[in-house]
Amino acid sequence: MTVTTTTPQRTTGQPAGPDRPGLPGSPSDDLPDDLSVWPASTAELPHADLSVGGVPLTELAERFGTPTYVLDEAEVRARCRAYLRAFPDADVLYAAKAFLCRAMAHWVREEGLGLDVCSAGELELAVTTGFPPSRIVLHGNAKSPDDLSTALRLGVGRIVIDSTSEIARLAAAVPAGSRQQVLVRVVPGIAAGGHAKIRTGTDDQKFGLSLADGSAQHAITRILGQPRLHLVGLHCHLGSQITTVKPFLSAVRRLVGLLARIQEQHGVTLSQLDIGGGHGVAYRPGEAAMDIAALGAKVRAELAGGCAAAGLPVPRLTVEPGRAIAGPSGVALYRVLSVKRTGEHTFVAVDGGMSDNPRPALYGVRYAPRLVGRRSSAAPAPVSVVGRHCEAGDVLAAGVRLPGDVRPGDLIAVPVAGAYHLSMASGYNLVGRPPVVAVADGQARTLVRRESLADIQGRDIGL
């Protein structure tokens, strides 16, 4: 669908962009016209409508229905390029767990990124789309036999060892005469991340091998004794929604120290260092976001300085952004089904909920929904945007401000909805998962179709 609407420049808020650091001040729900967390292509149209990628949101809702995820292709590509500028001479891997479909794999491959996958399913989808397996890294804390056999069959570039039990299983599966490149996931003992449930750099969670108790060093020794495994480097992932550079610099220092001990004890110089992702984005105007350019410059300087002091060659750096590429590139569209005022509370119920976005229920994440397609003169009032599911915790946005006359049939748009929405969506209440629609240059097309009742019933084959 081609749209002839002229796309004006932003007239409110701060300029968006993948290199822009977080805005100063505290988040506010009193800035409904602030477009700073929306895709850079977002423009204001008459009748309080917005366009993304040159396509009006009201038009997308009419054509594709709601709920619908909208993904701005240009924003995805711009964010990929920003990472390549920030990390020259490094491997930038898109973290597929944030959101993966065939088009997404195609876009990131065209932009020169590799891919980080966590299952045979993600791996198969990427490879059958044409993604070179040599540019894919497989990791996960509990890889199944199918995950490992698929990785070996397809020729995945590197596999991240996450536990000692994985070493022998993987070595036994590697064909005779072959060697599989592996990394060891190290837990460096650094607490970072926006919520306790998404902090993975400390010893009190399920991922990786501890540096503090010697588990990482023990695993390294065992791997070096396996002729079918080729240890090429170290891996770590500190957590998600990290908005400051300091934790990554601490991780680099600790991992360089481990590289030096490996060289001293085993006479082996490892050539790769993967510091994971977890770079934070702003979900609401005023929230902090990781400054990617600053991160790249400071991490590279820390790595070069640490290696020089230790007498080591500088290993090739790898980073794994997911949310920071997909998240701000997406918008979720909902229709209001009911408005209920109970005491001092107003609940605005929409036609989606925790089945298409479980993150508020899991982590207490807060969004900045906006009424689009209808200009209102009513004063903003505090409401909770809630979902349609049979859970009191099915809340998409609590304590936000929408026009006081919000009513059934209104269209609500939620920015920063490109990551961990569809990838974490469920079939709760047998509500089908929404489609994903790409927008670019005034055109819209379906990337992932809406899950129908027929799809759901087709899986149920027994009586």
Task: Detail the residues annotated as belonging to a binding site for substrate.
Answer: 323, 359, 363, 391, 420
- Sequence-distant (≥ 6) Cβ neighbours of residue 128 within 8 angstroms: none
d(CA 7, CA 438) in angstroms, rounded, equals: 17
Question: Torsion-angle region of residue 417: left (phi > 0), alpha (psi -120 to 50) or beta?
Answer: alpha
d(CA 334, CA 351) in angstroms, rounded, equals: 6
CB contact at 8 A, 285 and 368? yes
Phi first, then psi: what are they for 287, rounded to 5°? -75, 155
Neighbours of 425 (CB within 10 A): 21
Neighbours of 377 (CB within 10 A): 7
CB contact at 8 A, 168 and 182? no
CB contact at 8 A, 374 and 47? yes
Half-sphere exposure of 400 (CA within 13 A, CB side): 26
d(CA 291, CA 175) in angstroms, rounded, equals: 43
3-class secondary structure, 416: coil
Binding residues: 278, 320-323, 359, 363, 391, 420
Catalytic positions, please? Answer: 390
Binding residues for pyridoxal 5'-phosphate: 278, 320-323, 420
Taking alpha carbons only, the member of 24, 71, 80 closest to residue 292 is 80
Taking alpha carbons only, the member of 237, 229, 222 closest to residue 163 is 222
